Structure 1
Amino acid sequence: MSLNSTPRSDRIHIGFFGKRNAGKSSVVNAVTGQELAVVSEVKGTTTDPVQKAMELLPMGPVVVIDTPGIDDEGALGELRVQKTRQILNKTDVAVLIVDGTGEASEADRELIQLFQEKKIPFLIAVNKADESDEETLEKRFREYGRCISVSAKTGFHIPKLKEKIAGLAADCPSQNRIVGDLLKPGDTAVLVVPIDKAAPKGRLILPQQQTIRDILESDAAAVVVKEHGLKDTLKSLGKRPAMVITDSQVFGKVSADTPRDIPLTSFSILFARYKGNLQTVVRGAAAIESLQAGDRVLISEGCTHHRQCDDIGSVKIPRWLREYTKKELQIELTSGTEFPEDLSPYRLIIHCGGCMLNEREMKYRLKCAEDQGVPITNYGIAIAYMQGILRRSVELFPQVLAELPKSGDFV
């Protein structure tokens, strides 16, 4: 990803839902102006969610998602419907495609109820307007929500549909900043980036790229160093930096090498705030203290990647947990979309920073944990807690700091 690209996690996610053969894929193709989805008269042609990152006027950078029919049947059909329901957790704006030659079905009404429960802004697109009267179509479905009659076949009202989707998307995702709101023009932020076996060849990882971009957009300067060069870099700077931001894996060393009067935090802590969940994951860290032998801990990552030796999620955090608690814990890992619906078996969830998840999906995962009474924290917070530097790592955020005890690092 280049510094000029909009990450998938920061794009508005637009999901198209409906029954089989309602014309979802045809409408998706008409809206995007591309043959994004396979179109056929055969029911169930779309067997898996199809996602495409693209520029869609008048909205800008978006992710368009075409989903399998919500009324799919059989064992495989149930799996497809389950995937469709999972897509709802990352959907910022939903478009329900209904077949204008018939009436609203139970499946359509079920989807509308799900949109409402999950507070997803939605619009009903009544397809096949070329086969019926526009006013009659909209009147038939208006009781269920905002609707517009369209024809994927002739292109009727497709530009108007795009405008209505843009209107719903105007306020999402949120306009949170990663770090830019903490900096003034002319400030310097020092970023500590280890280059080890787990680092990708020839590039920085996404959180590091996004943080640099946000610093530059604030008219501040970003100085990037490896952990062993931090001391000398701080000495060579002509003025005190506004902050040091580190990869969580080297939190301990960076804390020791950073003078106490320089604010210190990590990329994953910044991303927890960026996704709107910093206070939740700070509170969740306290559960590390009460872990007992045999407890199950879920380590969850929002992306899938090739795991190198000494990988942070599968190797380092489990090792640090066992060393800190001196207990033999059962560690389980999930990645990508594999986030369990039933979290009750776990005593603690440690999540990655969520850079590949959009804000809605990250908040969904946090809400699942909260509803089931399972503490959840993230990589940076857990590591800072275990290394006794949690208080220092959140001093940049007064609201979070105010919740911590006045003495000690946390408890």
Structure 2
Amino acid sequence: MSLNDTTRGNRLHIGLFGRRNAGKSSLINALTGQAVATVSSVPGTTTDPVYKAMELHGIGPVVFIDTAGFDDEGMLGKLRVEKTEQAARETDIALLLFSGLDMAEDLKWLAFFRRQKTPVILLISHADELADEGRPLQAAVEQAAGEKPLLVSAGDKKGLEQVRQELIRALPEDFEQPSITGNLCQAGDLVLLVMPQDIQAPKGRLILPQVQTLRELLDKGCQALCCTTDQLAETLDRLKEPPKLIITDSQAFQKVYPLKPAASLLTSFSVLFAAFKGDIGYFLKGAEALLAIPASAHILIAEACTHKPLQEDIGRVKLPRLLRRKSGDDLKIEIVSGKDFPADLTGYDLVIHCGACMFNRKYVLSRVQQCQEQHVPMTNYGLAIAALLGILDKVSLPYEP
């Protein structure tokens, strides 16, 4: 990834949802102007969600998600619907296609999106084929859903400009990504990034949070200086004055904190991403709750990445080691990765999430909402490690919770 790329996790996610053969794939091809999705009259052609990143005039970088029909059947159909449900949780704006007068399933999904506070645009596709049948269906949907759907057609491009205008209108007010570094630094400040190059950082590359943070610092007009953990003491000795802010990897807190000048603020990439991707206030309360968990607690560690576990992996080795050092070997720790996340969280005393650099903010907040609704504390790697090391109150947050 170059410094100029917009990662998928930072793009507006626009999902297309509807029954099989509702016209989702045809519509996404028409909206993108490309043959992104396979179009067929055979029901169930779309299996796993198809993601297409592009620039949409008037909005900017987006990701279109073409999903399987939510009326799919059989064992494989059930798995496809589960994938569709996952895609729904990361959708910033939903395009919901109605295709018939039997609307029970469509309305159930509409209710889901409204509970998630996801803007929904109601559509009736194949308008060129429906002809006179489209108007009665449009009226029926309006009566059932309380909102008039747009008539669109991928074939003759009817309604596509209206859809684009509705997408602009439906753009969530809070979609603009918050600043990664928040109030911790401003133009002219010297910021020192301590970036361990361990086995988890592929040779020749930086990990994504480091790249994104570095890019923001340059955009802010900060003076960004980088070093590795073993070079920190020498780097600080060479400076005429201490840096305004030191950003490190959370797992290096123990080495960096003792060397930190008193005048410098200290935070980590994971702590910054707790606010950038999630709910910093809820995560902070979760970190405080971590200090009071019983020895027999059941903790869920959730990783966004699905990488092969490596030696000294932070989520699978280092964090569990710190947790057991605090609470003992009776602690039960369960680890999930990627988009595997239990629907029922009531059996857990705490959820600890990674920085989620690979997820979009909407999807992380949907997980936060799950925890809140089920009264399960949640925090993230950086805040959890700071709490376990006893320096939570010494770590600077990008925003006041």
TM-score in same-fold range (> 0.5): yes
Residues in 2 aligned to 1:78 and 1:395: alpha-carbon distance in whole angstroms: 42
* Structure 1: runs of 5 or more not aligned: 401-411
RMSD: 1.8
Which letter does structure 1 place at the counterpart of 2:229? Answer: E
Change in Cα spacing, 1:258 to 1:228, as seen in structure 2 (3 Å) is: same
2:153 corresponds, among 140, 151, 157, to 151
Which letter does structure 2 place at the counterpart of 1:32? Answer: T
Change in Cα spacing, 1:230 to 1:84, as seen in structure 2 (3 Å) is: same
- The answer (yes or no) to whether the contact 2:242–2:263 under 8 Å persists in 1 is no
How much does 1:300 deviate?
0.5
Map of 1:166-205 to 2, 5 A cutoff?
Answer: 166-169=168-171, 171=173, 173-179=175-181, 181-205=183-207
Residues in 2 aligned to 1:344 and 1:195: alpha-carbon distance in whole angstroms: 37
Residues in 2 aligned to 1:355 and 1:173: alpha-carbon distance in whole angstroms: 16
- SS of the aligned residue for 1:182 comes to coil
Do structure 1's residue 59 and structure 2's residue 59 form an aligned pair? Answer: yes
- SS of the aligned residue for 1:290 comes to coil
- The answer (yes or no) to whether the contact 1:186–1:221 under 8 Å persists in 2 is yes
Q: Which moved more, 1:8-17 or 1:83-92?
A: 83-92
Residues in 1 aligned to 2:331 and 2:306: alpha-carbon distance in whole angstroms: 24
- SS of the aligned residue for 2:291 comes to helix
- The answer (yes or no) to whether the contact 1:282–1:377 under 8 Å persists in 2 is yes
Map of 1:77-96 to 2, 5 A cutoff?
Answer: 77-96=77-96
Equivalence for 2:9 = 9
* Structure 2: runs of 5 or more not aligned: none
Query: TM-score normalized by structure 2?
Result: 0.94
**1:118-151, Cα deviation, whole Å (9 max, x unpaired):** 1111111211211314755544433322421111
Do structure 1's residue 122 and structure 2's residue 135 form an aligned pair? Answer: no
Report the count of equivalent residues: 397
Change in Cα spacing, 1:55 to 1:104, as seen in structure 2 (3 Å) is: farther
1:214 corresponds, among 200, 213, 216, to 216
Which letter does structure 2 place at the counterpart of 1:328? Answer: D
- The answer (yes or no) to whether the contact 1:137–1:149 under 8 Å persists in 2 is no
Residues in 2 aligned to 1:396 and 1:45: alpha-carbon distance in whole angstroms: 45
- The answer (yes or no) to whether the contact 2:180–2:398 under 8 Å persists in 1 is no
- The answer (yes or no) to whether the contact 2:278–2:368 under 8 Å persists in 1 is no
Equivalence for 1:103 = 101
- The answer (yes or no) to whether the contact 1:198–1:307 under 8 Å persists in 2 is no
- The answer (yes or no) to whether the contact 1:11–1:173 under 8 Å persists in 2 is no
Q: What percent identity do the matched residue pairs reach? A: 45
How much does 1:181 deviate?
4.2
Equivalence for 2:389 = 387
Query: TM-score normalized by structure 1?
Result: 0.92
**1:279-318, Cα deviation, whole Å (9 max, x unpaired):** 1111112333333444321110112123221110111111
Change in Cα spacing, 1:42 to 1:285, as seen in structure 2 (3 Å) is: same
- The answer (yes or no) to whether the contact 1:263–1:396 under 8 Å persists in 2 is no
Equivalence for 2:265 = 263
Residues in 2 aligned to 1:208 and 1:124: alpha-carbon distance in whole angstroms: 39
- The answer (yes or no) to whether the contact 1:384–1:393 under 8 Å persists in 2 is yes
